[in-house]
Amino acid sequence: MRPHTKSAAAFAEARRFIPGGVNSPVRAFRGVGGEPFFVERAEGAHIWDVDGNELIDYVGTWGPAILGHAPRVVRDAITDAASRGVSFGIPNPYEIEMARTICAWVPSIEKVRMVNSGTEATMSCIRLARGFTGRDLIVKFEGCYHGHVDALLVKAGSGALTHGQPDSAGVPAALAELTITLPFNDVTALRSLFMARGSQIAAVIVEPVPANAGLYLPREGFLEVLRQQCSQYGAVLIFDEVMTGFRLARGGYQERCGISPDLTALGKVIGGGLPVGAFGGSAEIMDQLSPDGPVYQAGTLSGNPLAMSAGLAQLREMDRVNGWARLEELGAEFENGVRFALKKAGRDYVFQRIGSMFCLYFTSGEIWNLADAQRSDKAAFARYFHACLEAGIYFAPSQFEAGFLSLAHTPADLAQTAAAATTALIA
Protein backbone atom coordinates (compact mmCIF):
# COMPACT_ATOMS: atom_id res chain seq x y z
CA MET A 1 0.00 0.00 0.00
CA ARG A 2 1.14 3.53 -0.74
CA PRO A 3 1.50 5.77 2.32
CA HIS A 4 -1.39 8.09 3.09
CA THR A 5 -1.01 9.10 6.73
CA LYS A 6 -0.46 12.79 5.97
CA SER A 7 -3.50 12.98 3.70
CA ALA A 8 -5.57 11.17 6.33
CA ALA A 9 -4.51 13.69 9.00
CA ALA A 10 -5.20 16.63 6.67
CA PHE A 11 -8.65 15.28 5.83
CA ALA A 12 -9.51 14.83 9.53
CA GLU A 13 -8.45 18.44 10.16
CA ALA A 14 -10.33 19.71 7.10
CA ARG A 15 -13.53 18.03 8.24
CA ARG A 16 -13.48 20.03 11.47
CA PHE A 17 -13.82 23.32 9.62
CA ILE A 18 -15.10 22.57 6.10
CA PRO A 19 -18.38 20.71 5.49
CA GLY A 20 -17.41 17.19 4.43
CA GLY A 21 -13.78 18.37 4.43
CA VAL A 22 -14.06 19.65 0.85
CA ASN A 23 -15.06 22.77 -1.06
CA SER A 24 -16.80 20.80 -3.83
CA PRO A 25 -18.53 17.47 -3.08
CA VAL A 26 -17.05 15.05 -5.65
CA ARG A 27 -13.61 15.69 -4.16
CA ALA A 28 -14.68 13.79 -1.03
CA PHE A 29 -14.45 10.39 -2.85
CA ARG A 30 -17.95 9.37 -1.74
CA GLY A 31 -18.60 7.95 -5.21
CA VAL A 32 -15.78 5.42 -4.78
CA GLY A 33 -15.35 5.11 -1.02
CA GLY A 34 -12.20 5.86 0.95
CA GLU A 35 -10.72 9.30 1.54
CA PRO A 36 -9.25 11.94 -0.77
CA PHE A 37 -5.53 12.65 -0.97
CA PHE A 38 -4.19 16.16 -0.47
CA VAL A 39 -2.00 17.68 -3.14
CA GLU A 40 1.48 19.02 -2.50
CA ARG A 41 2.13 20.15 -6.06
CA ALA A 42 1.25 19.44 -9.67
CA GLU A 43 3.25 19.89 -12.84
CA GLY A 44 2.57 18.71 -16.38
CA ALA A 45 0.45 15.57 -16.25
CA HIS A 46 1.68 14.61 -12.79
CA ILE A 47 0.55 15.27 -9.22
CA TRP A 48 2.47 14.70 -6.00
CA ASP A 49 0.44 14.24 -2.83
CA VAL A 50 1.46 15.29 0.68
CA ASP A 51 2.68 11.73 1.41
CA GLY A 52 5.07 11.88 -1.56
CA ASN A 53 3.06 9.65 -3.92
CA GLU A 54 3.33 10.53 -7.59
CA LEU A 55 0.26 10.18 -9.79
CA ILE A 56 -0.51 10.50 -13.50
CA ASP A 57 -3.50 12.81 -13.53
CA TYR A 58 -6.54 12.44 -15.80
CA VAL A 59 -8.71 14.96 -13.97
CA GLY A 60 -6.73 18.08 -14.89
CA THR A 61 -8.48 20.18 -12.23
CA TRP A 62 -11.77 18.96 -13.79
CA GLY A 63 -10.95 20.22 -17.26
CA PRO A 64 -9.10 23.53 -17.18
CA ALA A 65 -5.55 22.09 -17.32
CA ILE A 66 -5.52 21.46 -21.06
CA LEU A 67 -1.79 22.27 -21.34
CA GLY A 68 -1.09 20.24 -18.20
CA HIS A 69 -0.55 21.65 -14.71
CA ALA A 70 1.32 24.88 -14.11
CA PRO A 71 2.42 25.51 -17.70
CA ARG A 72 5.24 28.01 -18.06
CA VAL A 73 3.29 30.38 -20.31
CA VAL A 74 0.44 30.64 -17.82
CA ARG A 75 2.70 31.13 -14.79
CA ASP A 76 4.65 33.84 -16.62
CA ALA A 77 1.46 35.61 -17.68
CA ILE A 78 0.14 35.63 -14.11
CA THR A 79 3.42 36.93 -12.69
CA ASP A 80 3.64 39.62 -15.31
CA ALA A 81 0.06 40.78 -14.75
CA ALA A 82 0.39 40.62 -10.96
CA SER A 83 3.39 42.92 -11.06
CA ARG A 84 1.01 45.65 -12.23
CA GLY A 85 -1.87 44.91 -9.85
CA VAL A 86 -4.12 41.94 -9.13
CA SER A 87 -7.55 43.53 -9.45
CA PHE A 88 -8.84 46.94 -10.40
CA GLY A 89 -12.61 46.84 -10.71
CA ILE A 90 -11.99 49.31 -13.53
CA PRO A 91 -11.93 48.37 -17.23
CA ASN A 92 -8.52 47.05 -18.30
CA PRO A 93 -7.05 46.14 -21.70
CA TYR A 94 -6.89 42.37 -20.96
CA GLU A 95 -10.69 42.26 -20.99
CA ILE A 96 -10.83 43.54 -24.56
CA GLU A 97 -8.19 41.04 -25.69
CA MET A 98 -10.11 38.19 -24.09
CA ALA A 99 -13.44 39.28 -25.57
CA ARG A 100 -11.89 39.81 -29.01
CA THR A 101 -10.36 36.33 -28.91
CA ILE A 102 -13.62 34.64 -27.89
CA CYS A 103 -15.64 36.48 -30.54
CA ALA A 104 -13.08 35.60 -33.22
CA TRP A 105 -12.91 31.91 -32.33
CA VAL A 106 -16.59 31.29 -31.64
CA PRO A 107 -18.59 32.83 -34.49
CA SER A 108 -21.99 32.58 -32.73
CA ILE A 109 -20.64 34.96 -30.10
CA GLU A 110 -20.81 38.60 -31.15
CA LYS A 111 -20.56 39.98 -27.64
CA VAL A 112 -19.36 38.35 -24.45
CA ARG A 113 -19.29 39.10 -20.75
CA MET A 114 -16.77 37.66 -18.31
CA VAL A 115 -17.76 36.10 -14.98
CA ASN A 116 -15.95 34.03 -12.34
CA SER A 117 -17.28 30.49 -12.78
CA GLY A 118 -19.26 28.24 -15.07
CA THR A 119 -22.16 28.42 -12.63
CA GLU A 120 -22.29 32.19 -12.96
CA ALA A 121 -22.21 31.86 -16.73
CA THR A 122 -25.18 29.48 -16.96
CA MET A 123 -27.12 31.40 -14.31
CA SER A 124 -26.66 34.60 -16.27
CA CYS A 125 -27.68 32.90 -19.53
CA ILE A 126 -30.94 31.76 -17.93
CA ARG A 127 -31.79 35.21 -16.60
CA LEU A 128 -30.88 36.84 -19.87
CA ALA A 129 -33.00 34.38 -21.88
CA ARG A 130 -35.95 35.01 -19.60
CA GLY A 131 -35.49 38.75 -19.81
CA PHE A 132 -35.12 38.64 -23.58
CA THR A 133 -38.15 36.44 -24.26
CA GLY A 134 -40.38 37.58 -21.40
CA ARG A 135 -41.08 33.87 -20.73
CA ASP A 136 -40.37 31.75 -17.63
CA LEU A 137 -40.00 28.09 -18.61
CA ILE A 138 -36.56 26.53 -18.89
CA VAL A 139 -35.88 23.16 -20.50
CA LYS A 140 -32.88 21.02 -19.58
CA PHE A 141 -31.85 17.42 -20.15
CA GLU A 142 -31.56 14.64 -17.58
CA GLY A 143 -27.98 14.10 -16.46
CA CYS A 144 -26.73 17.41 -17.85
CA TYR A 145 -24.99 19.51 -15.23
CA HIS A 146 -24.90 23.27 -15.54
CA GLY A 147 -23.38 24.28 -12.21
CA HIS A 148 -25.25 24.70 -8.96
CA VAL A 149 -27.82 27.20 -10.17
CA ASP A 150 -31.19 26.72 -8.38
CA ALA A 151 -33.22 26.45 -11.57
CA LEU A 152 -30.74 23.98 -13.09
CA LEU A 153 -30.29 21.60 -10.13
CA VAL A 154 -33.16 19.50 -11.39
CA LYS A 155 -32.18 16.01 -12.52
CA ALA A 156 -28.60 17.27 -12.73
CA GLY A 157 -25.35 15.39 -13.31
CA SER A 158 -21.84 15.62 -11.82
CA GLY A 159 -21.63 15.80 -8.00
CA ALA A 160 -25.40 15.97 -7.70
CA LEU A 161 -25.63 12.63 -9.48
CA THR A 162 -22.64 11.07 -7.73
CA HIS A 163 -24.23 11.88 -4.40
CA GLY A 164 -27.67 10.71 -5.41
CA GLN A 165 -29.12 14.21 -5.14
CA PRO A 166 -29.94 15.25 -8.68
CA ASP A 167 -32.59 17.44 -7.11
CA SER A 168 -31.11 19.54 -4.32
CA ALA A 169 -32.76 20.45 -1.03
CA GLY A 170 -33.22 24.19 -0.79
CA VAL A 171 -34.58 24.68 -4.31
CA PRO A 172 -38.15 25.98 -3.91
CA ALA A 173 -40.73 23.74 -5.57
CA ALA A 174 -42.23 26.82 -7.20
CA LEU A 175 -38.90 27.48 -8.91
CA ALA A 176 -38.25 23.84 -9.87
CA GLU A 177 -41.68 23.79 -11.53
CA LEU A 178 -40.37 26.26 -14.07
CA THR A 179 -37.71 23.77 -15.17
CA ILE A 180 -38.80 20.97 -17.46
CA THR A 181 -36.45 18.03 -17.98
CA LEU A 182 -36.29 15.75 -20.99
CA PRO A 183 -34.22 12.65 -21.76
CA PHE A 184 -31.21 13.50 -23.92
CA ASN A 185 -31.26 12.31 -27.54
CA ASP A 186 -35.05 11.87 -27.56
CA VAL A 187 -36.37 13.80 -30.56
CA THR A 188 -39.97 12.65 -30.04
CA ALA A 189 -40.12 13.92 -26.44
CA LEU A 190 -38.56 17.19 -27.57
CA ARG A 191 -41.04 17.75 -30.38
CA SER A 192 -44.07 16.95 -28.25
CA LEU A 193 -42.95 19.32 -25.49
CA PHE A 194 -42.56 22.16 -27.99
CA MET A 195 -45.90 21.31 -29.53
CA ALA A 196 -47.59 21.54 -26.13
CA ARG A 197 -45.75 24.43 -24.50
CA GLY A 198 -43.37 25.91 -27.09
CA SER A 199 -44.66 29.46 -26.78
CA GLN A 200 -43.91 29.49 -23.00
CA ILE A 201 -40.33 28.26 -23.26
CA ALA A 202 -37.71 30.93 -22.59
CA ALA A 203 -34.70 28.73 -23.18
CA VAL A 204 -33.37 25.25 -23.70
CA ILE A 205 -29.99 24.68 -22.09
CA VAL A 206 -27.90 21.70 -23.13
CA GLU A 207 -24.41 20.29 -22.87
CA PRO A 208 -24.06 19.49 -26.59
CA VAL A 209 -21.78 16.65 -25.51
CA PRO A 210 -23.06 15.61 -22.08
CA ALA A 211 -20.01 14.98 -19.90
CA ASN A 212 -21.33 15.13 -16.36
CA ALA A 213 -22.95 11.68 -16.29
CA GLY A 214 -19.87 10.03 -17.71
CA LEU A 215 -19.71 10.89 -21.42
CA TYR A 216 -22.12 10.32 -24.26
CA LEU A 217 -22.64 11.92 -27.63
CA PRO A 218 -25.57 13.53 -29.40
CA ARG A 219 -27.22 11.23 -31.90
CA GLU A 220 -27.10 12.24 -35.54
CA GLY A 221 -29.69 14.99 -36.03
CA PHE A 222 -30.62 15.54 -32.38
CA LEU A 223 -29.00 18.95 -31.99
CA GLU A 224 -30.28 19.97 -35.44
CA VAL A 225 -33.87 19.28 -34.38
CA LEU A 226 -33.25 21.13 -31.12
CA ARG A 227 -31.96 24.15 -33.05
CA GLN A 228 -34.91 24.04 -35.43
CA GLN A 229 -37.54 23.77 -32.68
CA CYS A 230 -36.02 26.63 -30.66
CA SER A 231 -35.99 28.86 -33.75
CA GLN A 232 -39.54 27.92 -34.71
CA TYR A 233 -40.95 28.71 -31.26
CA GLY A 234 -38.72 31.66 -30.41
CA ALA A 235 -36.92 29.95 -27.52
CA VAL A 236 -33.29 30.81 -26.78
CA LEU A 237 -30.92 27.89 -27.39
CA ILE A 238 -28.10 27.85 -24.84
CA PHE A 239 -25.09 25.62 -25.38
CA ASP A 240 -23.33 24.98 -22.11
CA GLU A 241 -19.78 24.62 -23.38
CA VAL A 242 -18.18 25.19 -19.99
CA MET A 243 -16.43 21.85 -20.40
CA THR A 244 -16.27 21.46 -24.19
CA GLY A 245 -15.42 25.07 -25.08
CA PHE A 246 -11.79 25.47 -26.25
CA ARG A 247 -11.32 21.75 -25.49
CA LEU A 248 -13.01 19.87 -28.33
CA ALA A 249 -12.00 22.49 -30.88
CA ARG A 250 -10.79 26.06 -30.95
CA GLY A 251 -14.40 27.14 -31.45
CA GLY A 252 -15.88 24.58 -29.06
CA TYR A 253 -18.16 21.69 -29.96
CA GLN A 254 -20.33 24.08 -31.98
CA GLU A 255 -17.47 24.36 -34.45
CA ARG A 256 -17.41 20.58 -34.87
CA CYS A 257 -21.17 20.11 -35.20
CA GLY A 258 -21.80 23.27 -37.21
CA ILE A 259 -24.77 24.41 -35.13
CA SER A 260 -25.00 27.97 -33.80
CA PRO A 261 -26.64 28.42 -30.41
CA ASP A 262 -28.10 31.79 -29.40
CA LEU A 263 -26.07 31.89 -26.19
CA THR A 264 -22.98 29.98 -25.08
CA ALA A 265 -21.71 29.45 -21.54
CA LEU A 266 -17.95 29.04 -21.15
CA GLY A 267 -15.59 28.27 -18.27
CA LYS A 268 -12.83 25.85 -17.29
CA VAL A 269 -10.19 26.00 -20.10
CA ILE A 270 -10.86 29.71 -20.63
CA GLY A 271 -9.38 30.56 -17.22
CA GLY A 272 -6.09 28.67 -17.46
CA GLY A 273 -6.79 27.33 -13.95
CA LEU A 274 -7.99 30.60 -12.45
CA PRO A 275 -11.66 31.16 -11.58
CA VAL A 276 -13.20 32.32 -14.86
CA GLY A 277 -16.42 31.89 -16.78
CA ALA A 278 -17.96 33.76 -19.69
CA PHE A 279 -21.21 33.90 -21.59
CA GLY A 280 -21.93 35.37 -24.96
CA GLY A 281 -24.08 35.28 -28.04
CA SER A 282 -25.81 37.48 -30.55
CA ALA A 283 -25.49 41.22 -29.97
CA GLU A 284 -29.28 41.47 -30.03
CA ILE A 285 -29.60 39.28 -26.94
CA MET A 286 -26.40 40.38 -25.15
CA ASP A 287 -27.40 44.05 -25.43
CA GLN A 288 -30.29 43.29 -23.08
CA LEU A 289 -27.74 43.23 -20.26
CA SER A 290 -27.24 46.19 -17.98
CA PRO A 291 -26.07 48.89 -18.36
CA ASP A 292 -27.48 48.92 -21.94
CA GLY A 293 -30.53 46.79 -21.20
CA PRO A 294 -32.90 45.79 -18.38
CA VAL A 295 -31.34 42.44 -17.37
CA TYR A 296 -29.07 42.93 -14.37
CA GLN A 297 -25.74 41.14 -14.15
CA ALA A 298 -22.51 42.18 -12.40
CA GLY A 299 -19.30 40.99 -10.71
CA THR A 300 -16.72 42.64 -8.44
CA LEU A 301 -13.83 40.53 -9.74
CA SER A 302 -15.14 39.84 -13.24
CA GLY A 303 -12.50 40.42 -15.91
CA ASN A 304 -9.72 40.79 -13.36
CA PRO A 305 -6.25 40.99 -14.90
CA LEU A 306 -4.80 37.80 -13.37
CA ALA A 307 -7.61 35.59 -14.61
CA MET A 308 -7.73 37.28 -18.03
CA SER A 309 -4.00 37.01 -18.63
CA ALA A 310 -3.82 33.39 -17.42
CA GLY A 311 -6.71 32.42 -19.70
CA LEU A 312 -5.37 34.33 -22.67
CA ALA A 313 -1.93 32.77 -22.28
CA GLN A 314 -3.44 29.29 -22.25
CA LEU A 315 -5.68 29.93 -25.27
CA ARG A 316 -2.85 31.47 -27.29
CA GLU A 317 -0.52 28.61 -26.51
CA MET A 318 -3.15 26.10 -27.62
CA ASP A 319 -3.56 28.03 -30.83
CA ARG A 320 0.18 28.45 -31.39
CA VAL A 321 0.89 24.71 -31.18
CA ASN A 322 -2.47 23.68 -32.72
CA GLY A 323 -3.10 21.79 -29.51
CA TRP A 324 -6.46 20.41 -30.60
CA ALA A 325 -4.98 18.31 -33.40
CA ARG A 326 -2.31 16.99 -31.05
CA LEU A 327 -4.95 16.16 -28.41
CA GLU A 328 -6.92 14.24 -31.01
CA GLU A 329 -3.82 12.11 -31.71
CA LEU A 330 -3.16 11.59 -28.01
CA GLY A 331 -6.81 10.68 -27.53
CA ALA A 332 -6.62 8.04 -30.25
CA GLU A 333 -3.44 6.62 -28.73
CA PHE A 334 -5.02 6.55 -25.28
CA GLU A 335 -8.10 4.84 -26.69
CA ASN A 336 -5.95 2.14 -28.28
CA GLY A 337 -4.37 1.46 -24.90
CA VAL A 338 -7.72 1.19 -23.14
CA ARG A 339 -9.23 -1.03 -25.85
CA PHE A 340 -6.20 -3.29 -25.66
CA ALA A 341 -6.59 -3.47 -21.86
CA LEU A 342 -10.29 -4.31 -22.16
CA LYS A 343 -9.56 -7.04 -24.67
CA LYS A 344 -6.78 -8.53 -22.61
CA ALA A 345 -9.00 -8.53 -19.54
CA GLY A 346 -11.91 -10.00 -21.51
CA ARG A 347 -14.31 -7.17 -20.58
CA ASP A 348 -16.94 -5.73 -22.90
CA TYR A 349 -17.24 -2.44 -21.04
CA VAL A 350 -18.12 0.68 -23.02
CA PHE A 351 -15.30 3.12 -23.66
CA GLN A 352 -16.44 6.51 -24.95
CA ARG A 353 -14.16 9.23 -26.25
CA ILE A 354 -14.28 12.45 -28.14
CA GLY A 355 -11.00 14.31 -28.63
CA SER A 356 -9.30 14.59 -25.24
CA MET A 357 -12.39 13.63 -23.18
CA PHE A 358 -13.24 10.05 -22.25
CA CYS A 359 -15.21 7.75 -19.97
CA LEU A 360 -15.13 4.02 -19.26
CA TYR A 361 -18.57 2.69 -18.30
CA PHE A 362 -18.66 -0.58 -16.41
CA THR A 363 -21.45 -1.99 -18.51
CA SER A 364 -21.98 -3.20 -22.08
CA GLY A 365 -24.34 -2.01 -24.80
CA GLU A 366 -24.83 1.52 -26.07
CA ILE A 367 -24.92 4.67 -23.95
CA TRP A 368 -27.01 7.54 -25.28
CA ASN A 369 -28.60 9.07 -22.18
CA LEU A 370 -28.66 9.14 -18.39
CA ALA A 371 -30.71 5.95 -18.04
CA ASP A 372 -28.12 4.08 -20.13
CA ALA A 373 -25.27 5.57 -18.09
CA GLN A 374 -26.88 4.50 -14.85
CA ARG A 375 -26.65 0.84 -15.88
CA SER A 376 -22.95 1.07 -15.07
CA ASP A 377 -21.73 -1.15 -12.22
CA LYS A 378 -20.59 1.52 -9.76
CA ALA A 379 -19.07 -1.00 -7.34
CA ALA A 380 -16.89 -2.38 -10.14
CA PHE A 381 -15.93 1.16 -11.11
CA ALA A 382 -14.92 1.91 -7.49
CA ARG A 383 -12.68 -1.19 -7.35
CA TYR A 384 -11.08 -0.20 -10.65
CA PHE A 385 -10.59 3.39 -9.48
CA HIS A 386 -8.78 2.30 -6.31
CA ALA A 387 -6.64 -0.28 -8.11
CA CYS A 388 -5.53 2.41 -10.58
CA LEU A 389 -4.87 4.93 -7.80
CA GLU A 390 -2.70 2.38 -6.01
CA ALA A 391 -0.79 1.95 -9.29
CA GLY A 392 -0.25 5.71 -9.56
CA ILE A 393 -3.05 6.60 -11.98
CA TYR A 394 -5.63 9.19 -10.94
CA PHE A 395 -8.99 9.05 -12.69
CA ALA A 396 -11.96 11.12 -11.49
CA PRO A 397 -13.37 9.58 -8.30
CA SER A 398 -16.82 8.98 -9.79
CA GLN A 399 -18.29 6.93 -12.62
CA PHE A 400 -20.20 10.03 -13.66
CA GLU A 401 -17.28 12.31 -14.50
CA ALA A 402 -15.35 12.51 -17.74
CA GLY A 403 -11.57 12.04 -17.89
CA PHE A 404 -9.26 14.54 -19.57
CA LEU A 405 -6.02 14.34 -21.49
CA SER A 406 -3.67 17.29 -21.66
CA LEU A 407 -0.81 18.26 -23.94
CA ALA A 408 1.53 17.29 -21.10
CA HIS A 409 0.60 13.59 -21.22
CA THR A 410 3.48 11.67 -22.81
CA PRO A 411 3.47 8.33 -24.65
CA ALA A 412 5.22 6.91 -21.55
CA ASP A 413 2.35 8.16 -19.35
CA LEU A 414 -0.19 6.53 -21.65
CA ALA A 415 1.72 3.24 -21.76
CA GLN A 416 2.00 3.14 -17.97
CA THR A 417 -1.72 3.88 -17.72
CA ALA A 418 -2.67 1.13 -20.16
CA ALA A 419 -0.58 -1.39 -18.22
CA ALA A 420 -2.14 -0.36 -14.90
CA ALA A 421 -5.64 -0.41 -16.40
CA THR A 422 -5.08 -3.93 -17.74
CA THR A 423 -4.05 -5.22 -14.33
CA ALA A 424 -6.94 -3.41 -12.65
CA LEU A 425 -9.48 -4.76 -15.14
CA ILE A 426 -8.25 -8.34 -14.79
CA ALA A 427 -8.44 -8.16 -10.99
Ligand X SMILES: *Cc1c(COP(=O)(O)O)cnc(C)c1O
Catalytic pick among 57, 140, 216, 240: 240
Closest CA to 31 of 140, 163, 135, 131: 163
Catalytic-residue membership of 216: no
Residues 6+ apart with CB under 8 A from 72: none
- Smallest separation (angstroms) from ligand X to the CB of 314: 15
**CA dihedral defined by 367, 372, 373, 378, rounded to 10 degrees?**
-120
Q: What share of the chain is helix, strand, coil (3-state, %, to 5)?
A: 45, 15, 40
Catalytic pick among 268, 349, 384, 413: 268
Which amino acid, one-letter code, is at 174? A
- Smallest separation (angstroms) from ligand X to the CB of 146: 5
Catalytic-residue membership of 240: yes
- Smallest separation (angstroms) from ligand X to the CB of 128: 16
Residues 6+ apart with CB under 8 A from 91: 303
Cβ atoms 271, 310 nearer than 8 A: yes
- Smallest separation (angstroms) from ligand X to the CB of 267: 5
CB atoms within 10 A of CB 412: 9
Residues 6+ apart with CB under 8 A from 31: 162, 163, 378, 382, 397, 398, 399, 400
- Smallest separation (angstroms) from ligand X to the CB of 242: 4
Query: Where do contacts with ligand X occur on this chain (CB under 6 A)?
Result: 117-119, 122, 145-147, 207, 212, 240, 242-243, 267, 277
Catalytic-residue membership of 57: no
Instruction: Classify residue 319 as exposed, middle or buried by CB count within 10 Å of its CB (0-12, 13-18, 19+).
Output: middle
Nearer to ligand X, 243 or 414 (CB): 243
- Smallest separation (angstroms) from ligand X to the CB of 254: 14
Alpha-carbon distance of 124 to 266, in angstroms, equals 11
Closest CA to 241 of 95, 102, 104: 102
Decide: helix, strand or coil at residue 90. coil
Catalytic pick among 58, 145, 216, 253: 145
Residues serving a catalytic function are 145, 240, 268
